[in-house]
Amino acid sequence: MKKISSVTRHQEALPTRIGKLILRHCLFSGNDTVIVAVSGGPDSVALLHLLHRINRCAGLVAVYVNHGLRPTEIDAEIRLVEGLCGSLGVPYETVPVDVHAERKRTGASLEEAARTLRYAALEAARKQHGASVIAVAHTADDQAEEVLIRLIRGSGGKGLSGMDLRRGPIIRPLLQEKKQTLTDYLEANTIPFCRDSSNQERLFLRNRVRLDLLPYLERNFNTSIRRNLLQTAEILQGEEDLLDQLTEEILNRLVEKDKNRHLEEGRGNRPCPESIKIKIQAFLNCHPALQRRILEKVCWMMLTRPGFRQIEQVRHLIKHGGNGAETHLGRGLRVWKTGEEIRFSHPAGRTGFRGSGLQDSVFSLSLDGPGHFSIAGHVLSVSMLSTQPEHLLAGELLLDAERISFPLLLRNPLDGEVFRPLGAAGRKKISRFLTDAKIPRQERRFFPVVLSHDRIIAIAGLRIDHDFRVREDTRCFLHLGWQRTPAKTGG
């Protein structure tokens, strides 16, 4: 009987291990189409071959992203990938991207610009082919390098937990396999692959970690450093899952999102809420570790990636800032402390700018009669009614029309201006009324006054003047509705 070597037995086990991992972690199912990122290197070639051999999905589509950075090697890689896909019967396409233009546009590093465009191209292919997931060929060696890189750059437990087997549509079926195992598999099955010369360039941090730092640590500190890094990442991933679960539970109790209005579509087609509010006291009752996670997640919801310093700025604002205090984060995100809440919003849109972005636009609009009038991102509806409605919705006011005459005037309140709120014993400054009503300073521009013959009859959407209230003998009613203009979300 022919003796089977340990290498052969190991290669026979590799497809089985990958198949079991896919099933155990539900990376994809038999009804799913899978996009496979194939560069022509050993890891991605092994990934494509293994997924084809396992054959547990509806179909594979191989995508080669041409970054245009190694012109002398690209043709050979494309020919190899084409040949491999032809032999396996797997559809294949090449997608060119302009890394230098992206770098010039964003100021990102060459490596980061290439990564951004690569994943954008893969996501576009996923949508085009109706695929469920994108398979990439990160290995256990990549995971060890990633943990060190994140430690060098500065990261918390989440970053040090490394890459996930699955995050959104991205799956990493080879994340528990060593590169050498994959190379042995390819050689045992006489499957050709290319070598990327840029992997030897020490210009990139990842290459310096792979070529210099990890070997140095193995020689001089711990020969098992790679295994220990992987174990640390695995431990931290379990703890991260638990903390994420706790954070989500707390978020549901603390956070109030404006679900009906969004500024634009963000990364991954996620809409950006117009505002998010956090209840201060409940937030302060949380452990500092959970506070940081809550703030990080809220910033992500607002499409901003905060650093440790920014998160600590917001924590300090919440704990020590006075009413009306604010701090500025990236891409125009502002955080205000107002009363018992902290509010996150983009008052001037998702763009960088100086100041609070709360400068009120001065407006004055004459209303000659009933109708619908758009101003300041709102719609004022004015109508005359012969019967009193049973119920008023939020933002609706009802006045005695017999004490009012057109034209009406809608404008910003003036400094020091007063009116008598419905039910109040006397007159009150509008600014004081808005403060007592706990209207955040950054939202007061959305509550103009309505006048008739130079008399304030109402603050739109909030309160009428007592002198214009509906009485028992009122027979004609003036109905004022003040609603935000429905926002459009991006496609």
| Tokens found for residue 338 | 């107002």
Residues 71, 168 within the same domain:
yes
Instruction: Look at residue 412 and tell me if it is in a domain.
Output: yes
pLDDT at residue 127 in the model: 96
Same domain, 128 and 12: yes
Regarding whether 312 and 181 lie in a shared domain, the answer is no
| 337 part of a folded domain | yes
- What six digits make up the tokens of 417? 């201006």
pLDDT class of 352 with cuts at 50, 70, 90: low
- Region of 82 please: left (phi>0), alpha (psi -120 to 50) or beta: alpha
The CATH number of whichever domain residue 294 belongs to comes to 3.30.465.60
Same domain for 312 and 386: no
Residues paired with residue 274 on neighbouring β-strands, in sequence order:
none
142-161: per-residue pLDDT in tens?
999 999 999 988 877 878 88
What total of structural domains would you count in the chain? 3
Q: How does DSSP classify residue 74?
A: H
pLDDT band at 176 (very low <50, low <70, confident <90, very high): very high
Residue 354 is predicted with a pLDDT of 55
Supply the range of the domain harboring residue 279: 258-345
Helix axes 288-301, 308-320, angle to 10 degrees: 110
- pLDDT tier for residue 362 given thresholds of 50, 70 and 90: low
Instruction: List, in order, residues 6 or more apart from 47 with CB less than 8 Å away.
Output: 36, 38, 135, 136, 137, 173, 174
pLDDT tens-digit readout, 299-339: 988 888 888 888 999 999 899 888 778 888 877 788 888 77
Chosen domain end from 238, 272, 307: 238
- Does residue 387 lie in a domain region? yes
Whether 415 and 456 map to the same domain: the answer is yes
pLDDT over 70 at 445, yes or no: yes
d(CA 161, CA 230): 9
Question: Are 377 and 460 contained in the same domain?
Answer: yes
Question: Among 238, 271, 295, where does a domain finish?
Answer: 238
Give the CATH number, domain containing residue 49: 3.40.50.620
More confident site: 274 or 191: 191
How far apart, in whole angstroms, are the C-alpha atoms of residue 253 and residue 294? 11
Q: What CA–CA distance (Å, rounded) separates 430 from 248?
A: 39
* DSSP-derived pairing of the beta strands 449-452 and 477-484: unpaired
Indicate whether 443 pLDDT > 80: no
pLDDT for 344 beyond 50: yes
Distance from chain centroid for Cα 486 = 22
Render 396-443 in DSSP notation, one character per residue. Answer: EEEEEGGG--SPEEEEPPPTT-EE-BTT-SS-EEHHHHHHHTT--GGG
* Nearby residues of 391 by Cβ (< 8 Å), 6 or more positions away: none
Same domain, 306 and 453: no
User: Per the domain annotation, does 83 fall within a domain?
Assistant: yes
pLDDT number for residue 487: 46
Q: In what order do the strands lie in the sheet with 378-385?
A: 371-375, 378-385, 477-484, 396-400
pLDDT at 355: 53
Q: How confident is the model at residue 141 (pLDDT cuts 50, 70, 90)?
A: very high
- Tell me how many degrees the CA angle 443-432-427 measures, rounded to the nearest 5: 130
Q: What is the pLDDT of residue 351?
A: 62
Neighbours of 383 (CB within 10 A): 14
Say what the pLDDT of residue 488 is: 46
- The domain that holds 431 is classified in CATH as 3.50.40.10
What mean pLDDT is reported for the chain?
Answer: 86
Q: What is the pLDDT of residue 258?
A: 63
What's the pLDDT tens digit per position in 67-125? 988 888 899 999 999 999 999 999 999 999 999 999 888 888 888 899 999 999 999 99
Of 344, 348, 241, 328, whose CA–CA distance to 295 is shortest?
344
User: For 269, phi and psi rounded to 5 degrees?
Assistant: 65, 30
More confident residue, 288 or 337: 288
**Tokens representing residue 4 in the block:** 């089977």
Same domain membership, residue 201 and residue 173: yes
Grade residue 491 by pLDDT with cuts at 50, 70 and 90: very low
User: 10 Å Cβ neighbour count for 298?
Assistant: 25
Q: Does residue 250 form part of some domain?
A: no
pLDDT score, position 350? 65
Beta bridge partners of 36: 62, 135
Q: What is the pLDDT, as a whole number, of residue 111?
A: 86
- Domain-located, residue 489: no
Note whether 87 and 194 are same-domain residues.
Answer: yes
Query: Of 279, 313, 345, which residue constitutes the final position of a domain?
Result: 345
pLDDT score of 490:
41
| Amino acid 254: pLDDT | 86
| % of residues, the chain, pLDDT over 90 | 54
Residue 350 in domain: no
- End-to-end Cα, the chain, rounded Å: 64
Q: Which of 64, 83, 59, 75 is nearest to 191 (CA)?
A: 83
Q: Which residues of 51-82 are buried (b: 16+ CB within 10 A; e: fewer)?
A: bbebeebeebbbbbbbbeeeeeebeebbebbe
Please tell me the predicted confidence (pLDDT) of residue 204: 83
pLDDT at position 266 over 50: no
Q: Are residues 314 and 415 in the same domain?
A: no
Residue 277 lies in a domain: yes
Same domain as 138, residue 37:
yes
User: d(Cα 381, Cα 102) in Å, to the nearest integer?
Assistant: 47
* Same domain as 55, residue 95: yes
Residues 256 and 402: their CA atoms lie apart, in Å, by: 41
Name the 3-class secondary structure at 351.
coil
